[in-house]
Amino acid sequence: MIRTAVGALASTGALMLVLTTPVGPAVAAGKGGPKPLEPEHEIKPAEGYFDETFALEPGGARLYAVRTDGATFAKLEIIDLAAGKTASSFDLPKTQSSIERLEPLGAGKGVVLITREGSAEAPRFVATLVDGAGKAGAKTPSAAAFGRPSNTDLLLAFDHRDGAREGDTTYTITPYKLDTLAPVGKPRVYKTTSGGELKTPPFRLLDFNDGYARAVGEHPRAYDKKTDVRQPARTAILDTLTGKIAREAEIGDVMAWFEAAKLRARHPGRAVFADLNPSDSGVDVVDAMGNRKAVELAVPFGLYDAKSLTDQEGPEADAFFFGISVDPLNPEAVKRQKPDLPMLDLYGMGKADAPATLRGRIFTPRNVTWRAGYGKVVVLKRFKSFTPGGDELDVYKLR
């Protein structure tokens, strides 16, 4: 619809006016709409640039960020968010510069680095504990992936390998205590046959989520000899740390259940995610079982760029955020012949049954990467070129 409107203007020469009209305070995104947040701090690197790998520590007092020049050095920057300044900085281990994720421990005690090894085609990952002074400590064996389950102090290593027969797969989930990387109990091993069938407990495994602590699937029903009928399977959640079925329910809408599988494939490992509604006319919050909940947006959906939708689970228990950007050349702006300012609207919800609310609007003159949590959002202003990372971290207090 936006392309059609712009194309129509181009034929009359009006598009030039749209693109060259000065963009200033008077040309606001949705005049009279949400007021943009002002940054509490604007943090620039002392040298090099900030990588797109950064994370808030529990409680939100500090930000852990990777600072590098992409060639000669890579440092871990610990930023005091109250002061908006670097509290400490240290060199990352040279063998662990390909950082995939940071898992801060809290209270300045350090961080767990999830680093990538091996080839791009077959990557492996390792977790390494680094204390608050930058000293590397415990290290895990490599795994296919690592996950952080909600409401726990665990880090889960996930691995899988093919069995002797075609379609057979063995999944291994090894729990570690996050602050020591010491193993917690024995690894849980699940052997599935073709189709994802488990024998104990009876379960058809479809997907993992919640940091590999949960598996989504189906619980088969018993065969009834009297009626010569097997009852329909039920949707189920398997707790992979205990091996027990945590929740199950009837499949009320078979087509919706099949559609949920497609949605999970687009959002791997996620227990909840934001998605455009089936008519591409709004945003829904969707759980792993395919249950949709429409979001009441702060401005008409037509003002947004639908392709800009991004989301984040956590880091607090039950927290969920999604961001969507105002399209400067949305249909209303084209009609006015004045572009709107580029803005990111950040929505959040605390519980699955709570409504999503606008937590803040942020002026984004270029592409950004954001992390939200603990009443804050940190925004990395990315380079306009194809160079990874950015040259500024802005800290905002959420409404």
Q: Is the pLDDT of residue 81 over 60?
A: yes
- What's the DSSP call for residue 228? T
Which amino acid belongs to residue 366? R
Q: Is the pLDDT of residue 230 over 80?
A: no
* 63 neighbors 69 (Cβ within 8 angstroms): no
pTM: predicted TM-score of the whole model, two decimal places: 0.85
Q: Is the pLDDT of residue 214 over 50?
A: yes
Residue 15 has which token pair?
Answer: 């598009």
| The predicted structure's pLDDT at residue 308 | 97
CA–CA dist 28, 265 (Å, integer): 37
| The predicted structure's pLDDT at residue 95 | 66
State whether residue 266 is helix, strand or coil.
helix
Q: What is the pLDDT of residues 147-165, one digit of tens each?
A: 999 889 999 999 999 988 8
* Mean pLDDT along residues 211-223: 87
- What's the DSSP call for residue 301? G
Q: What is the pLDDT of residues 333-387, one digit of tens each?
A: 999 999 999 999 999 998 767 899 999 999 999 999 999 999 999 999 999 887 7
Instruction: Read off the pLDDT band of 125 (50, 70, 90).
Output: very high
In terms of pLDDT, which residue wins out, 240 or 267? 240
* Mean pLDDT along residues 232-238: 89
What are residue 37's phi and psi, to 5 degrees?
-75, 150
What is the chain's mean pLDDT, rounded?
87
